[in-house]
Amino acid sequence: MQSTPWAHYWYAAAFSGYALPSDWRNWADRMLEGVALAPIWLIDMALSRSVDELGKALGAQILNEQAACDQYISMGNAILGYCFLQYRAGTLSMEQFLQKAGEEADSGSSDLECETVYDLLNRTEATPDIGESREPLIQEMNGLFITVAKLAEEQWHALQQAAPEMIGQ
């Protein structure tokens, strides 16, 4: 049975800006409770205060998880999903979200074509945010990102289940 790729999940959530240092530090602390011989990556994760530090802490573990899996684990789709969750929560505007999503898609790490996202961004910027004028664009965006949002929600739920009292909803 394949184990859960925790390092992948955390890096995607953190890199997107969805997870805060307190989230991953508390989770790592919880996972370390009662462990006699803890993995270095988990200790380093508990001490990480920024996304850069977290990336260094998780780097080797991400490679280990990838090697243990019989298929490529893509973080790009999860990152897009976490960004979309931020948009839905109101912490990113539509334009901020689409800009961030376009950059992530442009990196080639997701299944989404950056041109599709940038086209939607361009049309959004050309449409005034008055009344229901953006509703067709919002519906298109929701349809485009529903699958990646579900992926991010599933990963975040798995993280919560591993240490439910330690990380935010």
Q: Where are the domains of the chain?
A: 91-148
More confident residue, 1 or 74: 74
The pLDDT of residue 2 is above 60: no
pTM of the model: 0.90
pLDDT at 129: 82
Q: Are 27 and 159 in contact (CB under 8 A)?
A: yes
Q: Summarize the confidence of residues 65-72 as an average pLDDT.
A: 84
The pLDDT of residue 8 is above 90: yes
The pLDDT of residue 167 is above 70: no
Nearest partner of 137 among 103, 97, 94, judged by Cα: 94
Mean pLDDT over the full length of the chain: 91
pLDDT at 88: 97
Name, of 68-77, 99-108, 131-140, the range with top average pLDDT: 99-108
Q: Summarize the confidence of residues 66-94 as an average pLDDT.
A: 92
pLDDT digits (tens, 9 = 90+) for 109-164: 899 999 999 999 999 999 888 878 899 999 999 999 999 999 999 999 999 998 75
The pLDDT of residue 35 is above 90: no
Exposure string (b/e) for 46-73, b if CB count within 10 Å is 16 or more? bebeebeebbebbeebbeebeeeeeeee
Q: Are 110 and 148 in contact (CB under 8 A)?
A: yes
> Any residues with CB less than 8 A from the CB of 74 and at least 6 apart, and which?
109, 110, 111
